[in-house]
């Protein structure tokens, strides 16, 4: 019957030799296309590269990096490499000020995105008969729609509840008996705390949490799992808008601490963030990813700013994905508050543009509460000292 069965998703991946050959073919095809597609950014960026010299993944390091500033400089659509008639979706990553980073998808990009998120859900133990309570924000943020289409691709019944509004979320979780929920780790913790306060916790059936979009430690995992109780297990999902959104890499229950990078689509490398040199296997450095199959907005050697290392081969259950350690931090000063990426220097530029603000300020982050809070305390100039509310309102 149409619509009632779903193709299985591949959670194992290809053995090394086949995988490297597929990656090489895809990389060569991508570079050839970027060099000739007529996109001004790529024509210039690849001016010194002979596309025919790229034949395998070993040639990757001869390619130039892509950085976030490139996406900003090409705002809004300068990095789109396909005709707009072929693109069907746009997302943007949150920033505190300035322009957001825009990403664009073709139908094929969206199909791949659904596929990798279906893999991520399946790796964590989600099944087609599950109800997926998707608590990631819907909208320009990639979290909501990324997990949404991944859940549908797997065959789940997706509840597009989005973030916030625990008063709505808890009764829905209870009434539907959802076994899987996806959200930021901080929101997952908040939901469990609210459920406990309301005496609801024992009536919920959630067993699996698909948690990501912000860094979270093993200590946080322990807190979340104990807050939910009833055998709840929390798994880490990683991704970033510039690459596709969520679904770049996923943790599996039998291999905690490792993220499986879906490397038939996203080719990972680790570099020294200071020199840009590739680091030998196992060393900590900056994660760099090349999108092997993206159509609308591919990137070559994108510097994620995230710090990790490649783990030795040999994941369990016969999986072949490149394994990386859970992300430990950033090479820049980016802070993630409730899933919003914040650069202190952007806050500073708002403050310093305000005529009433003096030279000194402090950014105070309180992570003692489940939903972290960021407060800015700024000194006022002598002339504005008697009207602090006015400046505060403007700056907020």
Which chain residues interact with ligand DLL by CB under 6 A?
Answer: 93, 136, 142-143, 146, 212-215, 236-241, 245-246, 304, 306, 327, 330, 336, 341
Q: Measured from the CB of residue 34, what is the shortest distance to ligand DLL in angstroms? A: 22
Task: Give whichever of 236 and 264 is closer to ligand DLL, judged by the CB atom.
Answer: 236
| Cβ-based nearer residue to ligand DLL, 35 or 261 | 261
- CB nearer ligand DLL, residue 142 or residue 162: 142
On the CB side of 273, how many CA atoms lie within 13 Å of its CA? 16
Maximum C-alpha span of the chain: 75
The nearer residue to ligand DLL, 13 or 135, going by C-beta atoms, is 135
Q: How far is the CB of 282 from ligand DLL (least distance, A)?
A: 20
- Name which of 70 and 214 has its Cβ closer to ligand DLL: 214
Tokens in use for 39? 């996109």
Comparing CB distances to ligand DLL, the nearer of 9 and 116 is 116
Residue 76: cis peptide before it, omega within 30 degrees of 0: yes
Count of residues for the chain? Answer: 396
Which one, 54 or 184, has the nearer CB to ligand DLL?
184
Half-sphere CA count of 176, side-chain side, radius 13 A: 23
* Min CB(296)–ligand DLL separation in Å: 16
Complex with ligand DLL: residue 93 or 322, whichever CB lies closer: 93
CB atoms within 10 A of CB 309: 16
Q: H or E segment at 138?
A: none
Compute φ and ψ for 259, nearest 5 degrees.
-110, 130
CB of 358 to ligand DLL, least distance (A): 32
User: What is the number of the residue whose Cβ is closest to ligand DLL?
Assistant: 212
For 110, the enclosing helix (H) or strand (E) is helix 107-123
Q: Quick one: tokens of 216? A: 């979270």
Task: State the nearest-atom distance from the C-beta of 257 to ligand DLL, in Å.
Answer: 12
Smallest distance, ligand DLL to C-beta of residue 111, A: 18
Cα gap 101→341, rounded to integer Å: 11
CB 74 within 8 A of CB 83: no
Q: Is 120 helix (H, G, I), strand (E, B) or coil?
A: helix
Distance separating alpha carbons of residues 107 and 89, to the nearest angstrom: 8
Q: Taking the complex as a whole, how short is the minimal distance between the CB of residue 321 and ligand DLL, in angstroms? A: 15
The Cα–Cα gap between 370 and 186 comes to 5
Least CB distance to ligand DLL at residue 190 (A): 16
- Closest CB 326 distance from ligand DLL, rounded Å: 6
Q: Distance between CA atoms of 332 and 150, rounded to whole angstroms?
A: 30
E runs forming strands in the chain = 89-93, 101-105, 131-134, 157-159, 180-183, 208-212, 233-240, 245-250, 258-261, 266-271, 285-291, 302-308, 322-325, 329-330, 335-337, 340-342, 357-366, 373-380
Nearest CB to ligand DLL, comparing residues 67 and 395: 67
């Amino acid at each position: 019957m149409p619509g009632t069965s779903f193709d299985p998703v591949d959670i194992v991946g290809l053995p090394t030799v086949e995988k490297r050959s597929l990656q090489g073919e895809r990389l060569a095809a991508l570079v050839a296309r970027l060099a000739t597609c007529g996109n001004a950014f790529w024509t210039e960026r690849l001016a010194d590269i002979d596309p025919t010299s790229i034949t395998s993944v070993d040639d990757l390091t001869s390619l130039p990096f892509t950085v976030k500033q490139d996406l900003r400089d090409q705002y809004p659509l300068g990095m789109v490499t396909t005709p707009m008639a072929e693109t069907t979706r746009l997302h943007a990553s949150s920033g505190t000020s300035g322009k957001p980073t825009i990403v664009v998808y073709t139908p094929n990009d969206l199909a791949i995105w659904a596929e990798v998120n279906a893999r991520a859900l399946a790796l964590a133990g989600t099944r087609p008969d599950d109800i997926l309570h998707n608590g990631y924000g819907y909208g320009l943020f990639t979290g909501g729609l990324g997990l949404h289409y991944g859940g549908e691709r797997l065959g789940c019944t997706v509840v597009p509840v989005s973030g916030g509004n625990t008063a709505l979320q808890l009764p829905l979780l209870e009434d539907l008996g959802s076994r899987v929920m996806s959200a930021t780790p901080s929101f997952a913790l908040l939901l469990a705390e609210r459920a406990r306060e309301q005496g609801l916790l024992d009536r919920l059936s959630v067993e699996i949490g698909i948690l990501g979009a912000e860094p979270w430690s093993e200590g946080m995992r322990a807190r979340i799992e104990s807050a939910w109780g009833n055998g709840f297990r929390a798994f880490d999902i990683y991704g970033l808008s510039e690459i596709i959104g969520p679904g770049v890499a996923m943790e599996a229950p039998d291999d905690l601490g490792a993220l499986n990078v879906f490397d038939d689509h996203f080719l990972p490398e680790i570099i020294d963030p200071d020199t840009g040199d590739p680091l030998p296997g196992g060393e900590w450095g900056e994660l760099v990813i090349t999108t092997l199959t993206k159509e609308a907005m591919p990137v070559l050697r994108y510097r994620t700013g995230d710090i990790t290392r490649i783990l030795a081969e040999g994941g369990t259950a016969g999986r072949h994905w490149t394994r990386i350690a859970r992300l430990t931090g950033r090479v820049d000063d980016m802070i993630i508050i409730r899933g919003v990426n914040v650069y202190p220097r952007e806050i500073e530029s708002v403050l310093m543009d305000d005529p009433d603000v003096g030279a000194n300020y402090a950014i105070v982050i309180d992570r003692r509460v489940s939903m972290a809070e960021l407060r800015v305390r700024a000194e006022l100039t002598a002339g504005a000292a008697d009207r602090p509310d006015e400046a505060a309102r403007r700056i907020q």
